[in-house]
Structure 1
Amino acid sequence: MATYAIGDIQGCYSALQRLLDLIQFDDQQDQLWLAGDLVNRGPDSLAVLRFAHRYRHCVTSVLGNHDLHLLAVRYGPHTVKAKDTLDEVLNASDADELLTWLRHQPLLHCEQNWCMSHAGLPPQWSISKAQQLATEVHNCLQSEQSSDFFAVMYGNNPALWHDDLEGLPRIRAIVNYLTRMRFINQLGQLDLTSKEGAGAAPSGFAPWFRYPRQSAGTRLLFGHWAALEGRTDCPDIYALDTGCVWGGQLSALRLDDQQWFRVDAQPT
């Protein structure tokens, strides 16, 4: 029995199947943790969602920004964008079942000494605080307020967390920290415009994982940042997104011994 954490799949179902063959995945014994962004940009988001739903007895997924975008299109006032590859999901006969399942996935999963979210964990937050805030979003997504949130989900403000934030701005801030964060400053303020690698931080900012963190002692798993190419150079912080949808690789980390497994986006 083993637990594997897999980075952003983004509709790359063929690569996922090859990765599962490589690790000899056994759905009766093994567990899969998916770091969010199951869908979009890649060619087969529907097959990925169907896989995750079918194997939900052994799959744990957190929501990524692309997953939330899909939900905002389905349950909010938004429409697909030019580069989206979501039409097949939205028009599927089982769309309601799949998207109801997706909507109930958390933003944060912590188990034993591991914690996974799509974009990481702000260093100013402890594990218990992050769990509390992620639960606030989870509850919002299941409530009648969800359509109001999806209507205002997009936006970069508030860019700095304060405990006294309220209402939908508070929910949007939590979502941005857990699904879109890359660079922050010493106060924890987000820069949500820069998407380059760790060495290209804007002035006064640095990658979130370079700061001393309140969650020290817990191993962190995250995706979202393909430009890192799977490297943080920080003990106990593991970058899972290795850019499969951009022609890179799809990666899995076996949590039991921290061994990496990778397949190329296209078979050689």
Structure 2
Amino acid sequence: MPTYAISDIHGHALQLRTALDEIPLDDPATQLVFLGDYIDRGRDSQGVLELVRRTQQDQPDQVTVLAGNHDRWFLDWLDAADDELSWLMSDMDLVTVKSLLEPMTLARALGHEDPTSDASSLDGQTMNRNIKAAVRAQHGDLIAWMHSLPLVHETDSHVFVHAGVDEDAGELWRHGTPEHVFTEKFPATTGPVRIGKRIVAGHVRTTELHGDPKNHTVFADEGHIYIDGSVETTGVLNVLRLEDDGSWSERAVG
């Protein structure tokens, strides 16, 4: 029963569609785990979210979807006070917001009628409140689904997670890992198995783990497999395939 894993898609819907075309989900033995970070950086966060959700809805017994830190930060922004602008200010050129709202809807939220302008005539708190209200109004079901996403998926031999776990807790890692560590752990832990199972994660770019800015391939050691290939700079997603015997292979899809 092969298990595939994809992580850190970051708004790159074209690459995701290409990757899914190569994963044989028509075989009921195939499993697929998404490791999070569906939004930000790329220009089609909405397309990625909708495609991931639809894939899970179509094959609910085969597809597991986990949350990443960018997904959780987006939800935290929606739930925060209107004067909390940090997520919106980090959305460079409003690339994620623009993928979620029609141009005229966004223009009105910014306080004008010109859909070609990103300028706002409103104070930051009012602008933030308007944008959040528009996102909630248009994407209530998608937001509810994002809130439901788990942080970790465990099999007999592997732990799938966006960033990592507290490996010092050993086999009690589920109880010993603070929630934010699952999605935000940094730096990455490397080396032998410490929790009884091998960890599969994204979050940390594999260039950093290889120590080579040109090497975006999967990084693996005795206890870990990291797969974030920096699609925002390379244009490709690393697709990991795990076999029942623990062996693995990768494919860079662009």
TM-score (norm 1): 0.66
1:70 CA displacement: 1.0
Residue in structure 2 matched with residue 35 of structure 1 by the alignment: 35
Amino acid in the other structure paired with 2:75 = L
Residue in structure 2 matched with residue 179 of structure 1 by the alignment: 183
**Which residue of 197, 202, 223 corresponds with 1:223?**
202
Larger-gyration structure (1/2): 2
| Corresponding position: 1:95 with 2:139 | yes
Residue in structure 1 matched with residue 225 of structure 2 by the alignment: 238
Unmatched runs of 5 consecutive residues or more in structure 1: 135-173, 184-206
Residue in structure 2 matched with residue 197 of structure 1 by the alignment: none
Amino acid in the other structure paired with 1:209 = T
Supply the distance in 2 between the matched residues of 1:258 and 1:233 (Cα, whole angstroms): 10
Residue in structure 2 matched with residue 109 of structure 1 by the alignment: 153
Structure with the bigger RCO (C-alpha within 8 Å, sep 6+) is 1
CA contact (8 A) 2:136 2:143 kept: no
> Which string of whole-angstrom CA distances, capped at 9 and with x for unpartnered residues, describes residues 42-73 of structure 1?
11111111112112213212211100111012
| Corresponding position: 1:53 with 2:53 | yes
**Which residue of 176, 190, 201 corresponds with 1:209?**
190
> Which string of whole-angstrom CA distances, capped at 9 and with x for unpartnered residues, describes residues 130-188 of structure 1?
32356xxxxxxxxxxxxxxxxxxxxxxxxxxxxxxxxxxxxxxx2442222223xxxxx
The within-5 A match list for 1:69-88 is: 69-77=73-81, 78-79=84-85, 80=88, 81-83=90-92, 85-87=95-97, 88=99
1:225 CA displacement: 0.9
Supply the distance in 2 between the matched residues of 1:32 and 1:51 (Cα, whole angstroms): 14
CA RMSD of aligned residues (A): 2.4
1:2 CA displacement: 3.2
Identical-residue share of aligned pairs (%): 27
> Which string of whole-angstrom CA distances, capped at 9 and with x for unpartnered residues, describes residues 98-142 of structure 1?
111111111111122110111122320234x332356xxxxxxxx
| Corresponding position: 1:7 with 2:7 | yes
Residue in structure 1 matched with residue 120 of structure 2 by the alignment: none
Amino acid in the other structure paired with 2:250 = W
1:19 CA displacement: 1.4
Supply the distance in 1 between the matched residues of 2:223 and 2:248 (Cα, whole angstroms): 10
SS state of the match for residue 101, structure 1?
helix
Supply the distance in 1 between the matched residues of 2:143 and 2:41 (Cα, whole angstroms): 18
Supply the distance in 1 between the matched residues of 2:13 and 2:24 (Cα, whole angstroms): 16
CA contact (8 A) 1:52 1:59 kept: no
TM-score (norm 2): 0.69
Amino acid in the other structure paired with 2:174 = Q
Supply the distance in 2 between the matched residues of 1:13 and 1:253 (Cα, whole angstroms): 18
CA contact (8 A) 1:35 1:240 kept: no
Amino acid in the other structure paired with 1:131 = R
Residue in structure 2 matched with residue 263 of structure 1 by the alignment: 253
CA contact (8 A) 1:122 1:208 kept: no
Supply the distance in 2 between the matched residues of 1:233 and 1:251 (Cα, whole angstroms): 13
| Corresponding position: 1:119 with 2:106 | no
**4+ residue runs over 6 A deviation:** none
Unmatched runs of 5 consecutive residues or more in structure 2: 101-131, 210-215
Greater helix content? 2
